C-alpha cells in the first residue's frame, strides 16, 4: 500500500484546517500573555489555510471548506495591508540616510561576516544589539568609518552599540524596565537636522515578569517618542511581530508609523528557517516627517537574525535668507 494515498491527504487537510482554525481563533485573544504567541504566525496560517482550502475543494469537502476559507481571508487581511501604498510623507529633496540594525547574537563569533555586510551596505548609522565586550574588541576597525559612537557592551543579550558617520549631540543609556535589557537614546546631527533615535531590545516575553517588562518598555518608549520633537525613529529587535496588540499600542501611543508599510512583511528571524517560516520581529518605526525610501533585510552575519536596512529621507534645515 503506498504511503501517500488520497484518504491520507484528505485526513491531513482536515486536521490541518482544524489546527489553523484553533490557532487563528486563539490569536484573536492576544492580550493574554501566552495567546499573544499565536498572533505572530499570520503568514503561516494564511498559507496553510489557503493550501487546505484548495485540497478540501478538490475532495468536495463542503463542510470544512468554508472554515478554511474564513481562516485564509482573516489572516490575509492582516498581511495584505503591508503590500499597500506606504503612508509615509514624501519630502521633496532633502537629506538621505541609511540605517542598519542588527542583532548580532551575543555568542556569535563571526565578526568578519558582520564587518563584510557593513562594508557592503555602508550605513550612515549602525545599531547593534546583543553587543558584548568581545564584539567591542573585534569591531575596533569600525572606528575609522564611524568616528562617533556610543557603546554599552553587556553580557546576556542586553548590550547595545550605536556607530554613526554623523556627530552625536547626545547619547544616553536608559533603563526602561526592571531587567538588564537597556535602551539607547541618541540625538544625531545629520546635515544640520537633529534626528532622534531610540533603540530597544526588550526581554523575550516567555515568563510573566518578562512579559510585563517588555510591555513596560513599550509604554515608556512610546512616551519618550511622543515627547520628542523633530524627526525621530524607534528601532530594534522588539521580540514581537506587528500583529501583537501590544505592538499596535506602541505604534499608536508613540505617534510613529511602521516603516514596513508598503514594503511587504520582511521576515527577519530565525535565519536557519526558510523565509516563509520566519517572522518579522526586527522593526523600525518612523515619524511622519521621515520618508521611507526602502526597507529590506541584509546578508547573513552569523546571527539568528538578519540585519534590517532602512533607507530614509527628510527635509534639510530651513534655508537662511541672504542679505
Query: pLDDT-derived band of residue 85, with 50, 70 and 90 as boundaries?
Result: confident
Residue 89 maps to a domain: no
Given CA atoms 278, 279, 283, 286 in this order, what sign does their dihedral have?
positive
- Please indicate, yes or no, whether residues 65 and 114 belong to a single structural domain of this protein: no
What does pLDDT average to over the chain?
94
Last residue of a domain, one of 21, 48, 83: 83
Contacts of the segment 140-143: beta carbons below 8 A, 24+ positions apart? 141/115, 142/115, 142/118
Last residue of a domain, one of 83, 114, 136: 83
- Please indicate, yes or no, whether residues 185 and 289 belong to a single structural domain of this protein: yes
Q: The domain that contains 244 carries what CATH number? A: 3.60.10.10
pLDDT at 91: 55
Average pLDDT over residues 174-189: 95
pLDDT at 323: 45
Which three-class secondary structure string do you get for 187-218?
EEEECCEEEEEEEECCCCCCCHHHHHHHHHHH
Q: Which residues pair with 195 in a beta bridge?
A: 188
Last residue of a domain, one of 54, 83, 112: 83
Residue 146 maps to a domain: yes
- Please indicate, yes or no, whether residues 70 and 102 belong to a single structural domain of this protein: no
pLDDT at 51: 97
Query: pLDDT-derived band of residue 90, with 50, 70 and 90 as boundaries?
Result: low
Average pLDDT over residues 109-118: 97
Query: pLDDT-derived band of residue 266, with 50, 70 and 90 as boundaries?
Result: very high
1 pLDDT more than 90? no
Residue 320 maps to a domain: no
Average pLDDT over residues 216-238: 97
- Please indicate, yes or no, whether residues 260 and 113 belong to a single structural domain of this protein: yes
- Please indicate, yes or no, whether residues 201 and 255 belong to a single structural domain of this protein: yes
- Please indicate, yes or no, whether residues 33 and 136 belong to a single structural domain of this protein: no
SS3 content of the chain, % helix, strand, coil (to 5): 35, 25, 40
Total domains in the fold of the chain: 2
- Please indicate, yes or no, whether residues 79 and 167 belong to a single structural domain of this protein: no
Query: pLDDT-derived band of residue 93, with 50, 70 and 90 as boundaries?
Result: low
Structural domain containing residue 269? 95-314
Given CA atoms 35, 36, 42, 43 in this order, what sign does their dihedral have?
negative
In sequence order, what are the residues at sequence separation of 6 or more whose Cβ sits closer than 8 angstroms to the Cβ of residue 203? 177, 179, 181, 210, 213, 214, 239
C-alpha cell at 112: 568578519
231 pLDDT more than 50? yes
63 pLDDT more than 70? yes
pLDDT 10s digits, 128-163? 999 999 999 999 999 999 999 999 999 888 999 999
For 211, half-sphere exposure in the C-beta direction (CA atoms, 13 angstrom radius) is 13
pLDDT at 94: 86
- Please indicate, yes or no, whether residues 144 and 241 belong to a single structural domain of this protein: yes
Sheet (strand 183-190) strand order: 168-174, 183-190, 193-200, 232-237, 282-286, 257-258
pLDDT 10s digits, 188-211? 999 999 999 999 999 999 999 999
pLDDT at 88: 55
Residue 79 maps to a domain: yes
Is the omega angle on the peptide bond into residue 270 within 30 degrees of 0, that is, cis? Answer: yes
- Please indicate, yes or no, whether residues 103 and 43 belong to a single structural domain of this protein: no
Average pLDDT over residues 103-107: 95
Residue 90 maps to a domain: no
Helices (H), 188-309: 208-227, 245-254
Residue 88 maps to a domain: no
Among 161, 201, 170, 197, smallest CA distance to 183 is for 201
| Distance, CA of 173 to chain centre | 21
Q: Rounded to the nearest 10 degrees, what angle do helices 65-79 and 42-58 cross at? A: 150
pLDDT 10s digits, 4-40? 788 888 899 999 999 999 999 999 999 999 999 999 9
- Please indicate, yes or no, whether residues 49 and 24 belong to a single structural domain of this protein: yes
- Please indicate, yes or no, whether residues 155 and 293 belong to a single structural domain of this protein: yes
Least confidently predicted of 77-86, 122-131, 205-214: 77-86
- Whole-prediction pTM: 0.93
pLDDT at 322: 46
Residue 1 maps to a domain: no
- Please indicate, yes or no, whether residues 180 and 271 belong to a single structural domain of this protein: yes
Amino acid at each position: 500500500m503506498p504511503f501517500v494515498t488520497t484518504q491520507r491527504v484528505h485526513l491531513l487537510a482536515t486536521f490541518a484546517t482544524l489546527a489553523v482554525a484553533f490557532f487563528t481563533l486563539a490569536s484573536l485573544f492576544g492580550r493574554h500573555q501566552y495567546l499573544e504567541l499565536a498572533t505572530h504566525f499570520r503568514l503561516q496560517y494564511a498559507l496553510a489555510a489557503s493550501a487546505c482550502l484548495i485540497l478540501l475543494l478538490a475532495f468536495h469537502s463542503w463542510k470544512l471548506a468554508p472554515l478554511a476559507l474564513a481562516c485564509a481571508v482573516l489572516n490575509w487581511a492582516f498581511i495584505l495591508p503591508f503590500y499597500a501604498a506606504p503612508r509615509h510623507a514624501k519630502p521633496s529633496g532633502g537629506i538621505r540616510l541609511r540605517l542598519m540594525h542588527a542583532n548580532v547574537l551575543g555568542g556569535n563569533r563571526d565578526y568578519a561576516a558582520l564587518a563584510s555586510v557593513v562594508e557592503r551596505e555602508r550605513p550612515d548609522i549602525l545599531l547593534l544589539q546583543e553587543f558584548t565586550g568581545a564584539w567591542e574588541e573585534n569591531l575596533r576597525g569600525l572606528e575609522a568609518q564611524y568616528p562617533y559612537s556610543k557603546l554599552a557592551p553587556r553580557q546576556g543579550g542586553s548590550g547595545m552599540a550605536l556607530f554613526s558617520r554623523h556627530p552625536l549631540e547626545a547619547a544616553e543609556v536608559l533603563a526602561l524596565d526592571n531587567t538588564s535589557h537597556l535602551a539607547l537614546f541618541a540625538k544625531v546631527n545629520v546635515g544640520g537636522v537633529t534626528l532622534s533615535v531610540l533603540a530597544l531590545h526588550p526581554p523575550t516575553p516567555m515568563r510573566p515578569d518578562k512579559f510585563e517588562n517588555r510591555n513596560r518598555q513599550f509604554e515608556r518608549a512610546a512616551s519618550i517618542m511622543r515627547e520628542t520633537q523633530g524627526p525621530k525613529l524607534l528601532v530594534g529587535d522588539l521580540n514581537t511581530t506587528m500583529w501583537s496588540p501590544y505592538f499596535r499600542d506602541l505604534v499608536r501611543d508613540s505617534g510613529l508609523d511602521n516603516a514596513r508599510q508598503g514594503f511587504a512583511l520582511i521576515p527577519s528571524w530565525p535565519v536557519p528557517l526558510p523565509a516563509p517560516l520566519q517572522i518579522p520581529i526586527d522593526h523600525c518605526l518612523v515619524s511622519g516627517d521621515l520618508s521611507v525610501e526602502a526597507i529590506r533585510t541584509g546578508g547573513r552575519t552569523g546571527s539568528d537574525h538578519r540585519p534590517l536596512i532602512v533607507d530614509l529621507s527628510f527635509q534639510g534645515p530651513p534655508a537662511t535668507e541672504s542679505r
